[in-house]
Structure 1
Amino acid sequence: MIDMLQQVAQDIWHLPYHFTTSGVRLSTRMTVVRLRQNRLWLHSPVPVSPQVRAQLVALGEVAFIVAPNKAHHLFVGDCAAAFPDALVFVAPGLVEKRGDLQGLRELSETPEPQWQEELGQLFVPGIPAVNETVWFHHASRTLILTDLCQWWQGSIPLSSRLFATLNGVRSRLAVPYMIRLMVKDRPALGRSIHRMFEWDIGRVIVAHNAIVETDAREALRRAFAEVL
């Protein structure tokens, strides 16, 4: 089966990727945003097959590769090798963790000037084991999360269903129990979530594995209300 990018909205695509770890079948996704001048922004890269590389090249120039938190970096090296001219941005703490990679740029609390007019950028403090940055594509009203919220939808193997149920993310959008246990500064987390809701959110894309198109803002509000 050939990997195919799937369009979510104008100038946004995604690519699911499945792999197994500790006996649990996982689904993650790379989100692709086309910025001005046909520059592509790749969020949470997955392995790039020749077919996917060709699709990306047809969409534009891969200019930015982003590892948005301290967990979603496994395929950054492979993606950077496929697009050597792209700038690679990583979550705080990953520069030291990935000493095998050169030229990494650490994300800060300040939106990068290369995309700040098109993508809102917000660092979520209070969970240092994750250090996630979240994003908002203004034109499509799309919030892009990684692990902060999850919803393991659809037909998935039994081990995955059990894991998702125990983690509280099988039946609806929620902050996983594993993430909740990592919270070290709840007031700081709350302030960042309040800022997140200043965006006019109409859609939520998460890495595992839902794309919420209906009542996305309310689903997000319920998810964070349990934590705060």
Structure 2
Amino acid sequence: MTFDQLKFIEVDLQMPLMKLPVRTSLIELERARVLLSPASTLTEAQLREAGEVTDIIAPSLLHTGGMKSAAAVHPRARLWGPVGIKEKLPALSWHGVLGVDVWPYDGELRHVALGGMPSFNESVFLHHRSRVLLVSDLVFNIQEPRGIGAWLILGLFGTYRRFGASRLFLSAVKDRAAFLESLQRIAALDFAHVAPGHGSVVSEEGKQKLLAALRERGYAT
């Protein structure tokens, strides 16, 4: 399924015993072109093929591996990242911190920071025009895993060949009330599709499936 003003760049990351699919999103806004979560395995050619980029986002403290390369290819782009990003990557010139500084595109690309997870500090984004919710690790949807260890690793996560919230990701929740407040804000958004950072886009009943996946892990909204 294709979406207006939204393009996905799909690559793989070789992990121990499996290949992890990784999604980078290119979002065209009225006055900006946003590169969300550039993968560490994107080549310089792929980054240039994206065209002019005004803003580059590291959506969590785990999804930072491609920021240096993306910033080098697009030196005029503004860099955004979560709380803690300046300490993790001090060599880069950060324009803003998500959840702290004003995000200027909320009317077209709504930002919600997940609270209560200081080791991850993931942010999710809703592209209003396409009604796609863009997430990093909140949910996985790897329906065709590759690698001899995929069944073990994804099985431990609770996401083997299924759409689901990772047990590993949710183990990072340290403040349950803050995390639930974030989920309530997500539940109030108008989205129909979910594009996870790892795995296939859920294009039918995406909102219902995401909320059901969180309920399965004990996080009812």
- Whichever residue aligns with residue 208 of structure 1, its letter is H
Report 1:8-23 matches (<5 A). 8-23=2-17
Structure-2 separation of matches of 1:86 and 1:109: 19
The answer to whether the 8 Å contact 1:95/1:104 transfers is no
> Separation in 1 of the partners of 2:87 and 2:145?
38
How far apart, CA to CA, are the structure 2 residues paired with 1:24 and 1:104? 35
Q: Is the 8 A contact 2:17 2:148 kept in 1?
A: no
What residue number does 2:103 align with? 112
Supply the RMSD in Å over aligned alpha carbons.
1.7
Question: What is the Cα deviation at residue 33 of structure 1?
Answer: 0.6
How many Å separate the matches in 1 of 2:205 and 2:176? 26
Call closer, same or farther: CA 1:74–1:53 in 2, change over 3 Å: closer
Q: CA deviation at 1:171?
A: 3.3
Structure 2 portions without partners, runs of 5+ = none
Shift in CA distance, 28/41, structure 1 to aligned 2, threshold 3 Å: same
2:53 counterpart SS class: strand
Residue matched to 1:136: 126
Structure 1 equivalent of residue 169 of structure 2 = 179
How many aligned positions are there?
217
- TM superposition shift of 1:53: 3.6
1:152 to 136, 142, 145: 142
Residues 23 and 43 (structure 1 numbering): CA distance in 2 closer, same or farther, change over 3 Å? Answer: same
Single out whichever of 206-215 and 21-30 deviates more from structure 2. Answer: 21-30
Kindly indicate whether the alpha-carbon contact (under 8 Å) linking 1:119 and 1:137 is maintained by their aligned counterparts in 2.
yes
CA–CA distance in 2 between the matches of 1:221 and 1:25? 27
The code of the aligned residue for 2:69 comes to: D
Partner amino acid for 2:210?
L
Q: 2: CA distance between counterparts of 1:211 and 1:167?
A: 19
Provide the TM-score with structure 1 as the length reference.
Answer: 0.89
Alignment check: 8 A CA contact 1:25 1:159 kept: no
**Structure 1, unpaired ranges of 5+:** 1-6
